[in-house]
Chain A
């Protein structure tokens, strides 16, 4: 639909760009100079773009090591925090009428490949394949825009201005607080984020956080001797821990994806620059040859006279 609509416009556009050249046929030399100038302009703009992508790549590379360090730290932190639930074999309580809270950890900034859209797609797929009453909390503007197009009714909260720097635990705590202030009673809280496999690949995964009922009903819960009073604290704290883990890992994935995307962009720009330089030189040579031919013809013609 879009391509069909775009095509006439494109054709009109290409006609419009060709028109000056065809109109300038009488002044043949001028037309050649114009295309030469056009190629030069394009070459220049591509070079500028390459400079920008190169700089962004360097920035992302320097940020990457910091982000990865934060990620490994937060991962061990989150795993330790969730070890309690693993040992207690906590499972979400099965009930029909309770809601599921889905927290999507993306960020505000783009230009990093398919990080955000992959996350949104995974969220949508989950909502389709495991139908339940979902409420969605979106962290980051990019996924917010995408989810608000497909499931605007499900969104209850959105956070932004994240992803400027490595996420701090204070961020995670504040988000966890705001989430725990939500009026709904959620049987399950699923935190969705991009897991870091290696520098090249990542995939969206979910992390579970539990409500108090699920924790108390887990099989090995008594082994830990947790008082009822501190149970709510533990739940809030573990939610913040999990969120911190998800945010830090998602951030590392984003930075590494941005590095890769900018690396590719720089390479592509380099290819285009090569192509255009050859074209530019050829055209320039053609113009010079043409001029020479004209001069020589003129000279020989006047000699004969």
Chain B
């Protein structure tokens, strides 16, 4: 595999989000606070099955979990 992050189970969007977070965190203090607001994500989501709504979960943690599972499969 050409991409290390792909082998780790990350999607391209996740990879971008992580690198964007790193850049934001390495900014100077005043700029950093402003920039980090742009990276916030508090979405919640629910899966639906047969017309029934499932449990509502935080999207952030669910994505992280899915990625780490993906990593387990690709190794």
Q: Is the CB of A155 within 8 A of B13?
A: no
**Please, which residues of chain A bring their CB within 8 A of the CB of B40?**
168, 170
Q: Is the CB of B62 within 8 A of A178?
A: yes
Count of residues in B whose CB is under 8 Å from the partner chain: 30
Q: Is the CB of A159 within 8 A of B11?
A: no
Interface assignment of B14: CB less than 8 Å from any CB of chain A: yes
Interface assignment of A87: CB less than 8 Å from any CB of chain B: no
Residues facing B in A52-68 (CB within 8 A) are: none
How far, in whole Å, are A174 and B20 apart by their CA atoms in the complex?
Answer: 13
Q: Is the CB of B13 within 8 A of A176?
A: yes
Q: Is the CB of B12 within 8 A of A152?
A: no
Interface assignment of B23: CB less than 8 Å from any CB of chain A: no
Q: Is the CB of B51 within 8 A of A233?
A: no
Residue of B13, B41, B47, B56 contacting most chain A CB atoms (<10 Å): B13
Q: Is the CB of B38 within 8 A of A170?
A: yes
Least CB distance, B22 to chain A, in whole angstroms: 14
Interface assignment of B46: CB less than 8 Å from any CB of chain A: yes
**Given known contacts A152-B51, A160-B56, A178-B62, is B16 in contact with A173 (CB within 8 Å)?**
yes
Q: Write the A137-178 contact mask toward B (1 if CB under 8 angstroms, else 0).
A: 000000000001000110111111110100011110111111
B residues neighboring A (CB under 8 Å): 2-3, 11-14, 16-17, 20, 38-48, 50-53, 56, 59-60, 62-63, 66
The 9 lowest CB-CB distance pairs between A and B, nearest first, are A152-B51, A233-B12, A173-B13, A155-B48, A170-B41, A159-B45, A153-B51, A236-B12, A174-B59
A159-B45, A168-B40, A229-B3 are known; give 13 further A-B pairs, CB within 8 A.
Answer: A156-B47, A159-B59, A160-B56, A168-B38, A170-B38, A173-B16, A174-B17, A177-B13, A177-B66, A236-B11, A237-B12, A237-B13, A240-B13
